[in-house]
Structures are given as structure tokens and as C-alpha cells.
Amino acid sequence: MKVLAFAATSSKSSINKQLANYTAKQINNAQVELLDINDYEMPLFNEDREKELGQPALAKAFYQKLGDADVIVISFAEHNGSYTAAYKNLFDWTSRIDQKLFQNKPVIMLSTYVDSPLSTTK
């Protein structure tokens, strides 16, 4: 079974990447491919840019990776109460290929965080 795992963040040291990888490896008979969304960095999406550039090869490659998987594992980082701009941009470009981005595959969505002194209130 092909399992595609990635963190929906551009952070190189993301604990969400570790969580996605760990979770994917818990699936019986999994052949895990761990992606780094930094490998799919594209210009910020907008319709004018899409008319100018068409579909970027990286969006097509990411869509193909999703299509080749039997299961998709995503761990989302939290940025200001939402998902990261890096993931949103990748999602925007790739969903223009097909709105059914995950292609009817089972998707496991996760998230984790590190508690830090900056997040505590006194």
C-alpha cells in the first residue's frame, strides 16, 4: 500500500512532518513516501498569473503524487489560527487541475504543536 505523507508547512524542522511520517508508518504494509512541500514551491496563486503561466509543472507533479498514493497523511501546522500560506498556495494551484484534489483517496488529517512560553498567558 502506497502512503503519501507530508506536513502542510514549509518549516524544515516541523514536528508535524515527524507526526505525518510516524502516523504513515503505523499503517500495515505501508510503503511510505515522505514529501517536503518546499519541493513544490510556486509563485503566489492568482487568476492573472494562472492565465499567464498555465498550470505549473510542480502543481502537476504534486497532483500526480496524490494520485499515485493509496492513502494520504497530512499533518497541519498552525499559523495564526489557520493553515500555512505555503500549503494554501500549493492547494490553490493544484486544485485548479481538479477540484477533487485528493482524488477520492482516504486522507488522514492531523496536527500537533509545541507548547512554548510565548503561548502562555499570565
Residues 63-90: tens digit of each pLDDT: 999 999 999 999 998 877 788 999 999 9
Counting every residue, how long is the chain? 122
C-alpha cell at 1: 500500500
Please state the domain extents for the chain: 2-114
Domain 2-114 CATH assignment equals 3.20.20.140: no
Q: How high is the pLDDT of residue 121?
A: 47
List, for the chain, all residue ranges whose pLDDT scores fall below the cut of 50: 118-122
**CA-to-CA distance for 87 and 52, rounded, in angstroms?**
22
In sequence order, what are the residues at sequence separation of 6 or more whose Cβ sits closer than 8 angstroms to the Cβ of residue 115? none
* pTM passes above 0.75: yes
